[in-house]
Amino acid sequence: MRKPFNWIVPLALGLLLTAGAAYWGYGQIMSRRAAETALNNKYSLAFFNLVNNVQNIEVLLSKSLVGQETRQDSQLFMNLWQEAVAAQGNMGQIPVPDVTVARTMKFLNQVGAYARTLAIQTAGGKSKTDEQWKTLRDLYRQAGRLNEEMDRVEAGLAGGSLLLSELKRESGGVLRRQGPQLANSDFQIMDKNMQQFPTLIYDGPFSDHLARRKPPGLEGGSLITADQAREKALAFIDRQPDISYTASVAGTDNGRVPLYRVEVTPVPAKNGEKIILGVSRQAGQVIWMISSRSVGGAKISVPQGMDGAARFLEERGFKGMESTYYEIRDNVAVYNFAATQGGVILYPDLIKVSVALDSGQVMGVDGTGYWMSHRERKLPAPAITAEQARRKLSPRFNDITPGRLALIPRTADTEALTYEFQGRLDDDVFLVYIDAVTGGEEQVLKVIKTNDGVLTM
């Protein structure tokens, strides 16, 4: 017998499937829309917070032009510093390409760092100088201009004509090919205006003069040729028995220290080992060395490795280096050595040596800190003795070391002669630095214990 309704089953099935797919698709669209909205809201929050921060920065800067009392100023600069930190945090979350906002970001960072420097100065009772007042006025004008630009972007955002997630889509993949478009251009104009901002020189980490610093350790050295660079590299590496080495210059680098990049290949080569060295074109010093060799199980002890590292430096002409710290990672020990001058340890003149604990071979060297700051210094005479400095320490502090003279960085480019004390409070170890000239407490550091890092001083 013929079934009259046998088409019903496939039809019902088909309808069910279509409905299912539609329902599923609808769900997808909705969840995508929800995700996009959530993302958009997050971006908008960051942006509107940023607008607020910049407005506050402008107001605080204008107040700082009027205020005269140091105690008030100190408060003001603290607030300014906080606003700037918050502003740059929010800026970092806005989906525009990093280059587009680099200058704006730098402005915010500099305002923050400058405010911090002034906060510290005024808290110490020293009011701001005329020079500093002028800088603050320049910063205030710049903040005003930034504010106007932000207003324009904000108007677009509030009017809904610009969705930040659109921006993000543009910047994510497409931008690299097509260049900035859309509302990016608003940010670009904003950033371009920041370009007119004069370079800011002050005593802080983002000061413009720091980027232009020359390595004093290399000063006066003559320029070397590529051939000489190869020889320097071959003379520097930690040669292993029964292996010969060939070197070639892979290129010239124009970084902070102009270099020849030299590649050294061991013959016979194993595990694709290659040693790469940066040899300064001026004075021909090895600034850094990196080895790609893989490291096997540890066969030598950490102190043995340290002796090897010290000998390595000694043989290469680094005299009077003192070990300060080491850490171990994956059977490689990294030892820090600081230079000394007349028994004073010079923390800024730092060189790091990494040793493979399977064979004791020196794998890497990082002498950037050393070459960027090492020079014969005119150290001040201490005005107080170690014993006098010791009496300035907290009575709650236990197991204190006798104290020794150490030169530490005070700001990005000033240094202070101090007495260094190590001691403990309960289970925590601290390093305390007392200014050897003024007797003031210069620095308190907490030593955070990790499994693989150890202070050796």
Partner 1 sequence: MGGPRTWAALGLPSARQAGTAPASAGVSRGVSDRSNIYLLARVIEGEAADESYAGKVAVGAVIVNRVQSGSFPNSLAGVIYQPGAFESVSNGQYTRPVSRDSLRAAQEAVSGWDPTGGALFFWNPYKPVSPWIWTRPVVTQIGRHVFAL
Tell me which residues in 342-361 interact with partner 1 (CB under 8 A): 347-348, 350, 352, 354
| Secondary structure string (H, E, C) spanning 153-182 | HHHHHHCCCCCHHHHHHHHHHHHHHHCCCC
Contact between 403 and partner 1 by CB under 8 A: the answer reads no
- Listed ranges 21-29, 51-59, 139-147, 442-450: which one lies at the site for partner 1 (CB under 8 A): 442-450
Tell me if 164 sits within 8 A of 94, measured CB to CB: yes
DSSP β-bridge partners for residue 279: 260, 286
Q: d(Cα 369, Cα 414) in Å, to the nearest integer?
A: 14
Interaction of residue 364 with partner 1, rule CB under 8 A = yes
Among 58, 73, 420, 442, contact with partner 1 (rule: CB under 8 A): 442
Binding to partner 1 by residue 444, rule CB under 8 A? yes
- Which one among 11, 19, 102, 243 touches partner 1, defined by CB under 8 A? 102
Q: How far apart are CA 155 and CA 144, in angstroms?
A: 17
Give dist(CA 77, CA 16) in Å, integer: 67
172 binds partner 1 (CB under 8 A): yes
Provide CB contacts within 8 A for 204, sequence distance 6+. Answer: 110, 113, 114, 116, 117, 411, 412
Q: Is 387 in the site for partner 1 (CB under 8 A)?
A: no
Q: By C-beta, is 181 or 385 nearer to partner 1?
A: 181
CB of 424 to partner 1, least distance (A): 13
Determine which residue in the list 217, 266, 369, 423 makes contact with partner 1, applying CB under 8 A.
Answer: 369
How many Å apart are CA 403 and CA 374, to the nearest integer?
Answer: 23
Minimal distance, residue 21 CB to partner 1, in Å = 27
- 44, 48, 72, 106: residue in contact with partner 1 (rule CB under 8 A): 106
Give min distance, CB of 362 to partner 1, in A: 14
Query: Closest separation between CB of residue 258 and partner 1, Å?
Result: 8
Q: Is 109 in the site for partner 1 (CB under 8 A)?
A: yes
Q: ∠121-124-129 over CA atoms, to 5°?
A: 40
Minimum Å gap between C-beta 12 and partner 1 is: 41
**Cβ proximity of 408 and 433 under 8 Å:** yes
Which listed range, 136-144, 178-186, 240-248, 309-317, lies at the site for partner 1 (CB under 8 A)?
A: 178-186
Q: Which is nearer to partner 1, 299 or 449 (CB)?
A: 449
CA 111 to chain centre: 18
Q: Does residue number 85 form part of the binding site for partner 1 (CB under 8 A)?
A: yes
Shortest Cβ distance from residue 304 to partner 1 (Å)? 21
Omega prior to 268 cis, within 30 of 0: yes
Which of 424, 452, 447 is closest to 326 using CA atoms? 452
- Binding string, residues 306-345; x marks residues near partner 1 by CB under 8 A: ------------------xx-x-xx-x-x-x-x-------
Q: DSSP letter at 227?
A: H
Please name the residue that has the structure tokens 């997630």.
165
* Residue number, 42 or 141, with CB nearest to partner 1: 42
Size of the site for partner 1 (CB under 8 A): 90
113 binds partner 1 (CB under 8 A): yes
Q: Which of residues 240-259 bind partner 1 (CB under 8 A)?
A: 251-257, 259
Q: How far is the CB of 181 from partner 1 (least distance, A)?
A: 10
- Greatest CA separation found in the chain? 117
What's the CA gap between 13 and 118, in Å, rounded?
A: 76
